[in-house]
Amino acid sequence: MQVFLIIKDFGAAVVSSFILFHEEKVVGFVTIGVLFAVGSPLKNHNHSLRASMFIDGEYATDFSVCFLKKSQFLEIMDMVDSSTPLPPWFTEQDLQTYCVLYEKSGFRTALKVPYRSYGEQTNKLPVNPKVHVPALLIMGEKDYVLKAPGMEEYIRSEKVKDFVPNLEIVFIHVGTHFVQEQFPEEVNQLVLSFLKSHSQP
């Protein structure tokens, strides 16, 4: 049996590894906000990200008050202005739901895969990983992921196609990292069109 895989955020590294080892089981895949995540020139960036945000569990510890406390390691939090109103597509009820779920589960497990275990994964992967199944990357033009060193150039120059030759890249204007919540109909249509185009009769 073959499947389509649709991935958002942290799932990218997990699914990328799965595809490299079991490409014969995959018809195609879609990533939203994060691209095929192994073996790329961004490897050094991932290392620096871990060093700056996850040293000795600081990130997991400081996250435990649902963004109410900052630390020198929380670089991403420096991008947040607490006085900024919530966008129209994200309600106070949504925020409360996420907070309740997070307070129950914590954040350490979520950081284990892929960030804490990044070295464990890459050490087992092919030296020059490449996948040939059809792929779609949906990216918001204002996604903060694009601010990662080398990321935007890596995508826009299509260097990423060195690893995923059959990749289609779609940027959604004014979309953020949560583009699937901002523009659900547009994202759904892109995904459905991709599935239809690559489904076997």
Split at pLDDT 50, 70, 90, the class of 181 is: very high
Half-sphere exposure at residue 73, Cβ-oriented, CA atoms within 13 angstroms: 16
Structure confidence at residue 167 (pLDDT): 95
Total domains in the chain come to 2
Average pLDDT, the chain: 77
My answer on whether 58 and 84 are in the same domain is yes
Q: How far apart are CA 65 and CA 176, in angstroms?
A: 24
- Of the listed ranges 62-71, 148-157, 180-189, the least confidently predicted one is 62-71
My answer on whether 38 and 133 are in the same domain is yes
User: What residue numbers bound the domain in which 71 lies?
Assistant: 51-113
Structure confidence at residue 2 (pLDDT): 92
113, 135, 167: which is the final residue of a domain?
113
Structure confidence at residue 140 (pLDDT): 95
Residue 119 lies in a domain: no
State the DSSP code for 85: P
CATH number, domain of 153, equals 3.40.50.1820
Structure confidence at residue 100 (pLDDT): 86
pLDDT tens for 65-101 read 344 444 555 555 566 677 888 888 889 999 889 888 8
pTM, rounded to two decimals: 0.74
My answer on whether 62 and 34 are in the same domain is no
Q: What angle do CA 187, 160, 130 make, to 5 degrees?
A: 105
Closest CA to 65 of 99, 27, 110: 99
Distances (CA, A) of 196 to 57, 85, 183, 193, 199: 43, 38, 20, 5, 5
Structure confidence at residue 101 (pLDDT): 82
Does the pLDDT value for residue 44 go beyond 50? no
The average pLDDT across 50-78 equals 44
Closest CA to 114 of 24, 34, 5, 27: 34
89, 113, 137: which is the final residue of a domain?
113
Structure confidence at residue 124 (pLDDT): 66
